[in-house]
DNA sequence: TTTAGCACTCTCCGCTTTTGATTGCTAAAC
DNA sequence: GTTTAGCAATCAAAAGCGGAGAGTGCTAAA
């Protein structure tokens, strides 16, 4: 076995062992566990080299090796796209795609729960969001005397609602007529189209149009749909976070609004799974973690994000293959809604 | 000062001190901090009595006192309804009620966030749910060839949607007619009304009605609307949970589905704030916590729950008054939607 | 280049001691 | 009868110690 080759094997062994055991591994253990045909002293030379090159560190002078961020990055590039989810799990995922998708949100949660169970870490899924939302349908329902509920359906099956109050009492009949008229006039338009369309409008029509534009503009401004987290218990149950005050910082960020944007804004991964390891994350509180995420959806139409958040020490192979699998599942499902 | 009276003061001091400091209090500290006109030895006699009666315990023989569940229960009954939220905070709450309530869900989150900041603990709010849901309005939007989006508006402004697939291509015009017809036929009905109403229906009408009934029946079966948690970081940041494996059990329960029902099923509090302290909770994993919750909404129409979850050592006075304040705020807001 | 051998380093565990906080008890004072 | 002062007793937490064990670094030989 060539020297260069063995060093790579050693690094791989260190990483994979740390992923399962979460503890430093000794040179002798590397030899034994993985049946290498050299002595522990040789491995020590290799780990010394790996340490000089920044792939491993040791908690103290006489301790085993643990991988660095650089090692994980190397490992992720190495395993790359080669991996596929085992049959059993592919079958599980297939099953769930068959399930009745009554409510999109409800279904997304089921999907998130399954993925979380599979990868034993925190999962985030955002609802799919249209790139540029277009108006499809509008509906008005009378509430109390002066009030009505405005329901707006956008392409990609997004539904928004808002309460309007009018200056006068408006009957349900009137409201239905208003709704039908505006639906046929605005059908297929973007918010700027609607804004541009200056027709003579009644006072109520104007008011409704304004709300409509506002709703659509707000929607356009968002980078992502509503994020949904599942499996916090799995993340916090990881040995690196029990008895650690860092979990508070992590929770703080995760409960905030902007962390998803901040992380994924730089560039969208072209097709594959984006991997952010430790220090690569701009958010300091999350630098003990790795985030893996994949976009799903229909290109140029609507897209969402499905991701996994866990300790840097995570089963990248499994998570990447799971994410690939789930993102196609979700894409197929979104395609139906459009 | 009568003896009985002083003992009550001592107990109150112990509780209030523990609420702020989270550590056992010594007899001498009780005297000093609260300027009592007796010696520490006297207080020791009192705490010995309180311990015999089960109001306080001590971590070990020579440690200060900490309150028991019984003490908290006593304390809650004592302060009862006497308390009002300070002016500044009432003003804050008032402010938020003015804010634009575009999306109910969005607004509920804002409310939850404010409440969480105020009480520095985990807040749970469920969306308001109709006691028995009645059909108000229905809408059909064409998606792909054989598919359509069914949008159902129920009284109390609940909106549900579902994707339907038909055996044949149905145009938007047809769908609109179908929607108008069914809306006028079923207006104001409950799911059983609709089920009972056997008219001659076309195949599509029958299919839609079935979906409709299914949606409404599912809705009726639920005890609560969608629960929304805010402020997990505040709960887990409490000193009793740092470095404690119990948080995992708590998270597990909180990420589950049924814990809210299990806790509040017994009896609904008549108007006020329901307080569940420690062991009073049927769920073992939550017995280190206290839950306080209040129903909001319009009686016999729609209601939701707003609650606070924190360590047993929590500022009951503040939380109870906050909950009272917020539940009227939410009730007023729901009243508008009905 | 690899290996055996050995000294060295450092953590972890358990043990003991010390320190300091706090109470329980008793006898005297109010 | 209640309250108090005083003091011994109790206990947790911190600090110190020492040895076992795990593991490496280095050197010299294979």
CB neighbours of residue A212 within 10 Å:
22
Interface of A with B (CB under 8 A): 101-104, 136-137, 139, 141, 143-144, 147, 149, 151, 153, 157, 159-163, 176, 180, 215, 230-233, 236-237, 242-243, 245, 247-248, 251-252, 255, 336-338
Q: Out of 3.30.310.40, 3.40.50.10490, 3.30.450.40, 3.40.50.1000, which CATH number does the structure's domain A87-128+225-337 have?
A: 3.30.450.40
Model confidence at A134: pLDDT above 50: yes
Q: Is the pLDDT of residue B298 over 50?
A: yes
Pairs across A and B, CB distance < 8 A: 97
How far is Cα B114 from Cα B283, in angstroms, rounded to an integer?
Answer: 27
CA of A42 to C1' of C4 (A): 11
pLDDT in tens, A251-309: 999 998 888 887 766 555 556 889 999 999 989 999 999 999 999 998 888 889 999 99
CA distances from A99 to A93, A127, B100, B142, B334 (A): 10, 18, 38, 22, 34
| Beta-carbon separation of B231 and A255 below 8 A | yes
By Cβ distance, the residue of B159, B230, B248 closest to A161 is B159
Which of B 41-60 have CB under 7 A of nucleic chain C? 41, 44, 47-48, 51, 58
Residue A318 per-residue DSSP state: H
C-alpha distance from residue B287 to each of B60, B71, B110, B269, B310 (Å): 22, 15, 29, 20, 11
B28 touches strand D (CB under 7 A): no
CA A302 to CA A133: how far, in whole Å?
A: 9
> Among A206-210, B198-202, B313-317, B318-322, which is the least confidently predicted range?
B198-202
Is residue B54 exposed (0-12), middle (13-18) or buried (19+ Cβ within 10 Å)? Answer: exposed
Chain B positions touching A233 (Cβ under 8 A) are 248, 251-252, 255
Higher-pLDDT residue of A113 and A201 is A113
- For the CA atoms of chain B, what is the radius of gyration? 26
CA distance B32 to chain A (A): 34
CA distance B185 to chain A (A): 15
Does the structure show a pLDDT above 80 at B311?
yes
Q: How far apart are CA B219 and CA A106, in angstroms?
A: 13
For residue range A227-267, list pLDDT tens digits in order.
Answer: 999 999 999 989 888 777 788 999 999 998 888 887 766 55
Mean pLDDT over B290-302 rounds to 90
d(CA A21, CA A16): 9
- Chain A positions touching B252 (Cβ under 8 A) are 233
Over residues A86-120, the pLDDT tens digits come to 778 888 888 877 776 667 888 899 999 999 999 99
Residue A113 Cα distances to A24, A110, B272, B278, angstroms: 31, 5, 36, 29
Selected from 3.40.50, 3.30.300, 3.40.120, 3.30.390, the CATH number assigned to the domain covering A135-221 reads 3.30.390
Q: How confident is the model at residue B1 (pLDDT cuts 50, 70, 90)?
A: very low
- A179 close to A139: Cβ distance less than 8 angstroms: yes
Are the beta carbons of B292 and B319 closer than 8 angstroms?
yes
End-to-end CA distance of chain A: 55
Among the partner residues B157, B161, B336, nearest to A103 by beta-carbon distance: B161
Residue-range domain boundaries for chain B: 3-67, 87-128+225-337, 135-221
Task: Identify the top-confidence range among A109-123, A202-216, B86-100.
Answer: A109-123
Residue A1 has a pLDDT of: 46
d(CA B131, CA B155): 10
Of B141, B160, B232, the CB nearest to A137: B141
Is the minimum distance from the CB of B3 to strand D below 7 Å?
Answer: yes
Is B147 in Cβ contact with A151 (below 8 Å)?
A: no
> Is the CB atom of residue A328 positioned under 7 angstroms from any atom of strand C?
no
Q: Are B146 and B132 in contact (CB under 8 A)?
A: no
Considering only CB atoms, which chain B residues are within 8 Å of A143? 157, 336-338
A27 CB contact with strand D at below 7 Å: yes
- Residue A242, min C-alpha distance to chain B (Å): 7
Instruction: Give the angle subtended at the CA of A72 by the CAs of B247 and A260, to the nearest 5°.
Output: 55
Q: What average pLDDT does the segment A41-58 reach?
A: 95
Q: Which residue is nearest nucleotide C2, judged by alpha carbon to C1' distance? A: A42
Q: How far is B39 from chain A (nearest CA, A)?
A: 40
Residue B107 tokens, joined: 């607004």
B337 contacts B157 by C-beta, under 8 angstroms: yes
Please answer yes or no on whether A157 and B137 come within 8 Å at the CB atom. Answer: no
CATH code, residues A3-67: 1.10.10.10
Residue B305, CA distances (Å) to A169, A174, B4, B104 in order: 32, 36, 39, 15
CA distance to partner chain A, nearest, from residue B270 (Å): 27
At A310-333, the pLDDT tens digits run 999 999 999 999 999 999 999 988
Crossing angle (nearest 10°) for helices A316-337 and A69-79:
60
């Amino acid at each position: 076995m060539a020297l260069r080759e063995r060093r790579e094997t050693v690094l791989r062994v260190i990483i994979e062992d740390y992923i399962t055991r979460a503890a430093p591994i000794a040179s002798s253990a590397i030899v034994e566990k993985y049946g290498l045909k050299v002595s522990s002293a040789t491995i020590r030379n290799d780990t010394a080299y790996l340490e000089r090159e920044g792939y491993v560190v040791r908690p103290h002078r006489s301790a085993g090796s643990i991988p660095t961020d650089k090692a994980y990055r190397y490992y992720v590039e190495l395993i790359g796209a080669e991996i596929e989810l085992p049959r059993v799990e592919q079958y599980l995922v297939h099953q769930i795609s068959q399930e009745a998708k009554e409510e999109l949100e409800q279904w997304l949660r089921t999907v998130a729960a399954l993925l979380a169970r599979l990868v034993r870490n925190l999962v985030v899924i955002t609802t799919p969001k249209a790139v540029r939302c277009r108006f499809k349908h509008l509906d008005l329902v009378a509430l109390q005397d002066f009030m009505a509920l405005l329901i707006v359906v956008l392409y990609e099956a997004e539904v928004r609602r808002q309460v309007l109050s009018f200056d006068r009492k408006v009957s349900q009949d009137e409201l239905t007529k208003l709704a039908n008229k505006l639906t046929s006039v605005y059908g297929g338009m973007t918010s700027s189209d609607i804004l541009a369309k200056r027709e003579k409008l009644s006072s109520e029509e104007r008011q409704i149009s304004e709300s409509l534009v506002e709703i659509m503009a707000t929607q356009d401004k968002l980078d992502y749909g509503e994020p949904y987290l599942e499996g916090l218990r799995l993340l916090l149950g990881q040995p690196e976070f029990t008895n650690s005050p860092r979990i508070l910082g992590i929770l703080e960020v995760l409960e905030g609004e902007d962390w998803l944007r901040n992380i994924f804004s730089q560039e969208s991964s072209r097709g594959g799974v984006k991997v952010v390891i430790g220090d690569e994350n701009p958010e300091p509180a999350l630098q003990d973690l790795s985030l893996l995420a994949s976009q799903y959806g229909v290109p140029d139409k609507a897209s969402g994000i499905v991701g996994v958040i866990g300790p840097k020490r995570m089963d990248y192979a499994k998570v990447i293959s799971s994410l690939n699998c789930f993102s196609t599942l979700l894409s197929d499902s979104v395609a139906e809604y459009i």
